[in-house]
Structure 1
Amino acid sequence: MGRFDGRVAVITGAARGIGFGTATRFAEEGASVAIVDLDGGAASEAAAKLSVADGAKAIGVGADVSDAASVDAAIERVVSELGGIHILVNNAGITRDNLLFKMTEDDWDLVMGVHLKGAFLMSKAAQKHFVEQKYGKIVNISSISALGNRGQANYSAAKMGVQGLTRTLGIELGPFGINTNAVAPGFIATEMTDATAARLKLDVDEFRRLNAEANPVRRVGFPEDIAAAVCFLASDEASYITGQTLYVDGGISLGT
């Protein structure tokens, strides 16, 4: 028996990285999984890699989370093909880093659209089903960058906005049996952070070493670390927790 037997979990931006690691964990624990990604082909390929339990399914769904019609169509497809929806993980994200004086309106709008508007639209579409069944779990992916990070005015603002959205949905949706929480990762070894190393003209291993040395536990995080936290918050073990943001960052936010 898995914690998520009979449950349907939707994870956005899950074709790779933290999202795929989270989808893998849900599948391992018995859930049917929908991988939602802007690249529908990549979503389907990622879903095909998941080892689901007997009776469970995995599908890939192409969708633009910043577009309401696309979001609504994705949720309806999930419900139609997987038989319902019980868990939503808002993970989709992009970066358009730059210092303020170089940052364009498009840089700002794209990041806000995917991270913050995307979480809003996906949550709005899913809650219709959650309210009707008096059950649902929403886990939003924030970031330690919500506390402020040079060259990430757009990303930091979006990720702190995600925390405000999380608290508000906790208040609004709690009476309907819906828990809403967030996870704020620190440095996680993914393709995205490897790309940051390349942009900074640093060797990937050296970049990871420097980030490991900056936190108390002296290692970098991996998608599996975030997946463990997300799955806890999406489980019935966390049914008395809502509106909270859990920092999973090796302790760097402690300021040590």
Structure 2
Amino acid sequence: MKGQTAVIVGGASGLGLTTAKLMVERSAAKIGLIDKNEERLAEAARILADLGAEVAIASGDISVRESAHAAFEDLAGRLGRIHALVNSAAIYPRKAIFEITDAEWDLENAINIKGTYHMMVAAVLHMRRFVNAPDVTGRIVNVTSVDAFKAHPQNAHYAATKAAVVSLTKSFAQECAKDQILVNSVAPAGFATDRAKELGFLPELAKASALGRAAEPVEMAEWIVMMASSRNTYATGENVVISGGYIYV
């Protein structure tokens, strides 16, 4: 990531913030964060600035096209050329399959699918301007989930959105290959975020994993950073499953 600039959606906490920290450790020049929670955004910016990063933040509703594009363009205006976009924003409400309301479906789709789509379009429109640059043009990494490939009756709407993002990733990868924009996704199994600990499914996941434990967030961030960096020169349209042997796809 040396000398590169990355925008992380959902970067104020969780895996997004962990990824941002790792990018700074790997010498990323500048980091932009997009999130709806302005208080957490400000705190995340302070954390990254203390690590030596130049940071810009933007608050916006990514489910709305105009808001999503405005947030990205705001960061590009302050940070300059954006080399990488990471889409880590998502909502994870567990709900039994026959209890999901239309409103819950709509919200899940709005954030996890439509929001990801809006941010990808905004990034591609920006990255295409640098197609003739001598260095890497652009990298996009979407955070999906092993739930895209595994039955999940306790969270079917979430699983469905992550399967949709896998498909979106492949479509964007094919469309953007001519511009040397590489688009991939990383599909984690559950890992030890505060939210996962709160929901209480990590012990069950650990028992079902070949490695016998849940991952730490930084173990997922390693894969995201690699796919978002100039080290990735050939992979596009790929969905990399990182599950510790929980699932084999």
Q: TM-score, normalised by structure 2?
A: 0.92
Q: Is the 8 A contact 2:146 2:247 kept in 1?
A: yes
The separation in 2 between residues aligned to 1:57 and 1:51, in whole angstroms, is: 6
Q: Deviations over 1:63-110 (max 9, x none)?
A: 111111111111111111111211000110112321222110111111
Instruction: Tell me the CA shift for residue 187 of structure 1.
Output: 1.3
Secondary structure at the aligned position of 1:59 is classed as: strand
State the partner residue of 2:218. 224
The separation in 1 between residues aligned to 2:97 and 2:207, in whole angstroms, is: 28
Match of 1:126 among 95, 100, 123: 123
RMSD between superposed Cα atoms in Å: 1.5
Q: Identity of counterpart residues, as a percentage?
A: 32
Match of 2:185 among 172, 182, 185: 182
Match of 2:173 among 164, 170, 174: 170
Is residue 2:237 matched to residue 1:243?
A: yes
State the partner residue of 2:15. 18
State the partner residue of 1:200. none
Instruction: Tell me the CA shift for residue 52 of structure 1.
Output: 6.9
The separation in 1 between residues aligned to 2:154 and 2:167, in whole angstroms, is: 22
The separation in 2 between residues aligned to 1:9 and 1:185, in whole angstroms, is: 21
The separation in 2 between residues aligned to 1:53 and 1:175, in whole angstroms, is: 36
More deviation, 185-194/154-163: 185-194
Q: TM-score, normalised by structure 1?
A: 0.90
Match of 2:207 among 205, 209, 213: 213
Secondary structure at the aligned position of 1:98 is classed as: coil
State the partner residue of 2:109. 112
The separation in 2 between residues aligned to 1:194 and 1:63, in whole angstroms, is: 27
Instruction: Tell me the CA shift for residue 194 of structure 1.
Output: 2.1
Unaligned runs of 5+ in 1: 198-206
Is residue 2:99 matched to residue 1:102?
A: yes
Q: Is the 8 A contact 2:97 2:153 kept in 1?
A: no
The separation in 1 between residues aligned to 2:248 and 2:8, in whole angstroms, is: 29
State the partner residue of 1:194. 197
Q: Is the 8 A contact 1:88 1:139 kept in 2?
A: yes
Match of 2:27 among 30, 33, 49: 30
Secondary structure at the aligned position of 2:97 is classed as: coil
The separation in 2 between residues aligned to 1:97 and 1:53, in whole angstroms, is: 35
